[in-house]
Amino acid sequence: MSHTDPAPTSSAASSPTSSPTSSPTSSTEPVDRRLVQIRVAAWASIVANIVIVVTGGAVRLTASGLGCPTWPRCTSTSFTPEAHLHGIIEFSNRMLTYVLVAIAIWTVVAAWRTGRRDLKRVAVWLALGIPAQAVLGGITVLTDLNPWIVAGHMILSMALICTAVLLLQRVARPTPARGGAGVVLAWLTFAAGWIVIYLGTVVTGAGPHAGDADAPRNGLDPLQVSQLHADAVFLFIGVSVGLLVCLVALRQPRAAVRAAAVLLVVEAAQSVIGFVQYFTGLPIVLVGAHMLGSAVIAATMTWVLLHVRHPEVTTQHPGGERPQSDDALATRSA
């Protein structure tokens, strides 16, 4: 009987050492790589959609909006522009759509490889927004840069930026949504931000930078809509300050407090640019910077809302509570 004793002993000795170390490593490493890929794709989507806002602004500010006077062709006889500056600027902006399409496809594939339904759903919505944006851009050209259609074109770009931030958050912090006073204020801040963004497009539609010398304006008084826009900005900043104070008073996670503080800094910078551009006659460089700021505002206010609704999960360490890493949370959720 003694010849059978070593087998259980060696098995028992090897089992505790091999199972806990080798098995989790082999099962989590592929998941981590897939999460890294979708995270990079989400960041690429955020950056690309912000860039297209800036380049679209450059088209308008250089009066190149009808540099390609028709759509989907650039001219009535060709998909490429004639050899003049406005046509080249507009055509170059159209070509960036293919970059967005490539990034959208990459994002969908990366989301599918994770096997997570929540990531697939957001990635698909993000991808569907690209052709919708292209069609809406075509309609703006076919309507000779109707200011209300141009405003919708801008709003859709902002929505895509927010969706890309949502995708990034889903990868990094898939925690259940919470309620409370902080969340209510975060929603109010988000809503106020959207009011500011929309009224900004209305101000643009009443202002001088129409995208073409013959493009129509919306007929509103620039002074009055600018004042309304400024009032909305004050509301936005006020609610954001209230949110930050609330988060600090309720001892919310530092990540949420930091996000709210960053939003206030971005709002302050954007407000300074807005006031300076208004009182200096709307120079195109400052107007372009203000458009960039609007895109950053859209991303940041979404980031704040998601951080407040989905706070970091903390684990107990010898030195106190510390937030779990993004990879740990995402891997566990997957």
Domain boundary residue, one of 109, 144, 172? 172
Phi, psi of 70 (to 5 degrees): -140, 180
91 and 42 together in one domain: yes
Domain boundary residue, one of 118, 151, 172? 172
pLDDT of residue 202: 96
pLDDT of residue 175: 73
pLDDT of residue 236: 98
pLDDT of residue 133: 94
pLDDT of residue 174: 63
Single pTM value for the model: 0.84
147 and 192 together in one domain: no
Phi, psi of 176 (to 5 degrees): -60, 150
151, part of any domain: yes
pLDDT of residue 3: 47
132 and 223 together in one domain: no
Question: What CATH number is associated with residue 282?
Answer: 1.20.120
104, part of any domain: yes
Residues of the chain with pLDDT under 50: 1-29, 315-334
Number of structural domains, the chain? 2
68, part of any domain: yes
pLDDT of residue 166: 96
267 and 190 together in one domain: yes
- Rounded Cα–Cα distance for residues 68 and 267 (Å): 35
Phi, psi of 220 (to 5 degrees): -85, 155
- Rounded Cα–Cα distance for residues 31 and 330 (Å): 9
Domain boundary residue, one of 122, 144, 172? 172
50 and 130 together in one domain: yes
Domain that holds residue 110: 33-172
163, part of any domain: yes
